[in-house]
Amino acid sequence: MSPNLNALEQTYRSRTTRSYKLSETAGKVLPGGVASNGKYLPPYPIYMLGGQGAEMVDIDGNKYIDLLMGAGVHILGHSPEKVLRAVHQQIDIGVHYYLPAEAEVKLAEKVCQVMPSVEMVRFLNSGSESTLMALRAARAYSKRPKIVKFEGNFHGQHDTVLVSTLAVEGEPEAPQPHLDSAGIPRNVRDNMLILPYNDPQTAIEQIKKHAGDLGAVIVEPVSAFGLGVVPADIEFLKALRQVTNETGIPLIFDEVVTNFRIALGGAMEYFGVQPDLVCLGKILGGGFAIGGFGGKREIMDKVVTPKVGLWDLSEQIFQSGCFSGNPVSMVAGLAVLEELEKEKAYPQINALTETLCNGMTALGRRLGVPLMVSRVASIFQFHFSTTTIKNKRDAMKANKQAAYLFHLGLRAHGILASAHPLFISTAHNPGHVEKILQVSETVLKQMLKDKLF
C-alpha cells in the first residue's frame, strides 16, 4: 500500500480488499464498476452482500451501520418483516402483468388519502421519470413551454432538469442555465429560467416578468442531493404558491426524497403549502423500483386520463411504461404506508436524528472543527463550513475535500455515509447513534492529526 495515502484511505483499503478486486473486474463490464454514478464512492466502490435492519455487510465481511438507507428508501430499515411478507405473497401469484391489478388501485387510494393535495396519481418507475412526467403534464395543461428551476435543486437525470444543479453560471441574483452533463443539447437552456433558491423577492419578480412563457415552477421543498439537505424557507414556498396562483402557472413539489419521510403527508403537510402537482418516489415503493406523480384532479384528468378514440395531441400527454404499477412495488409500498399510518415512526426517527445531529454539532465545537449539520426531520448531512447554507452559492463555499475525507473515514470505520443525504430509520437505535458519534470523533481527530482541513 502506498505510503502517500492518508491514514483514513489506508484503513479503507486494508478492510475492503475483496471489494477492490471486484471493482477491477466490474470495471471491465460496468462503467466505473457500477450501475449508477451514485454507487461509485471513491477510491472504489464497496460491494454489499446483504442488509438487515439498520446494518449492512460487505463482501469482505465488514459490518456497517447504514446511514444511506438505499438513498432514503428504507424508512423502516432493510427488509422489514411486514414488507417482505406482502412481497412474498405477491410473488407467489405473479410478479408482472403489464395489465392493471388491484394492488395498483389500493396504493393509489392510500396516497390520495394521506397526501392533502393529491387527488389522482400515476405510478412510474423512478424519480427521474416522476419529474419528467409531472413537467410534461404541467406544460400540457398550461400550454406554455418554459419552466422555472432553482439553483442546486436536483430533479433527476433527464435533459430538461439536469441544469444548474452541480454548477452555476451568472451572477447570484441573476443565474444563467448551466448544463450539468455532456450530451445535453444546448437548446435545453432556451426553455429554462434559473432562479436562486430561498430568494422569494427575486422569484416573485422574475416569475411575474416571464409568466406568459412559463409552463411550470418546480422546486424541492428540501434540497437534498444538490445542496445537502437545505430546507426551503416557509416564506419562500408561500411566495411561490402566491405568485403561481396569480399567474396561473402549475407549481410542482419534487418530493421524491421527502414524500412520507418528513411527514406522512410529505412536505405539503410539513410546510403547510400545497402544490398543484407532486413528484413521488423512494419510500413509496417499499424498497422496489418506483416513481409517481399526482395532484389536482383538474390537471390529471384533463391531460393524463386516456380519452376514448383518438387522443387530442394538442392537450393529452403520452405516459406509459411496461413496469409502471408493477404489483410487487405496489404491495411493498402499501405495506410501508400502512405501517407509517400508525404514527409511531416519525417521533422515533426524528428524536433519534436530533440526538445524533446535536451530538455531531457539539463534537465539532469541542474539537474546534468547522462542522455544520443540516437537518430536516430524519434527513441530514454534514458540511465543513462556517457559513449558513441557504442556497447553491453558499453550499459551494463549504470545504468539499474535508467532507469527502470525513465520509471516507466513516466508511473505513464501519459507518456507511457519503455526500448524498443521510437518513435514520425505525431500525436505528440509541446504540447506533452512540457508535456513530464515537467513530466520528475518531475520524475527526485523525483528520486533525494529518492536517487534512
Cβ burial, residue 451 (10 Å; 0-12/13-18/19+): exposed
285 with 408, same domain?
no
CATH number of domain containing 318: 3.40.640.10
Residue 182 located in a structural domain? yes
Residue 326 located in a structural domain? yes
Phi and psi dihedrals of 385, rounded to 5? Answer: -160, 150
Residue 212 located in a structural domain? yes
Residue 2 located in a structural domain? no
Query: What is residue 2's predicted lDDT score, i.e. its pLDDT?
Result: 57
CA 449 to CA 453: how far, in whole Å? 10
Residue 1 located in a structural domain? no
115 with 128, same domain?
yes
413 with 314, same domain?
no
pLDDT tens digits in sequence order for the chain, 453 residues long: 555 679 999 999 999 999 999 999 999 999 999 999 999 999 999 999 999 999 999 999 999 999 999 999 999 999 999 999 999 999 999 999 999 999 999 999 999 999 989 999 999 999 999 999 999 999 999 999 999 999 999 999 999 999 999 999 999 999 999 999 999 999 999 999 999 999 999 999 999 999 999 999 999 999 999 999 999 999 999 999 999 999 999 999 999 999 999 999 999 999 999 999 999 999 999 999 999 999 999 999 999 999 876 666 778 899 999 999 999 999 999 999 999 999 899 999 999 999 999 999 999 999 999 999 999 999 999 999 998 999 999 999 999 999 999 999 999 999 999 999 999 999 999 999 999 999 999 999 999 999 888
400 with 442, same domain?
yes
Joined grid coordinates for residue 124: 412510474
CA 413 to CA 193: how far, in whole Å? 44
Residue 62 located in a structural domain? yes
Owner of C-alpha cell 391531460: 303
| Domain containing residue 34 | 7-78+344-449
297 with 349, same domain?
no
Residue 163 located in a structural domain? yes
| Whole-prediction pTM | 0.97
CATH number of domain containing 422: 3.90.1150.10
355 with 254, same domain?
no
Joined grid coordinates for residue 84: 417482505
378 with 267, same domain?
no
288 with 206, same domain?
yes
86 with 202, same domain?
yes
Total of domains in the chain = 2
Q: Which residues of 229-263 are buried (b: 16+ CB within 10 A; e: fewer)?
A: bbbbeeebbebbbebbeebebbbbbbbbbbbbbbb
Domain edge (last residue) among 313, 340, 367: 340
380 with 419, same domain?
yes
96 with 237, same domain?
yes
Domain edge (last residue) among 312, 340, 368: 340
Q: Which of 392, 377, 375 is nearest to 153 (CA)?
A: 392
Residue 114 located in a structural domain? yes
188 with 286, same domain?
yes
Pairing mode of beta strands 48-52, 222-223: unpaired
Domain edge (last residue) among 340, 371, 390: 340
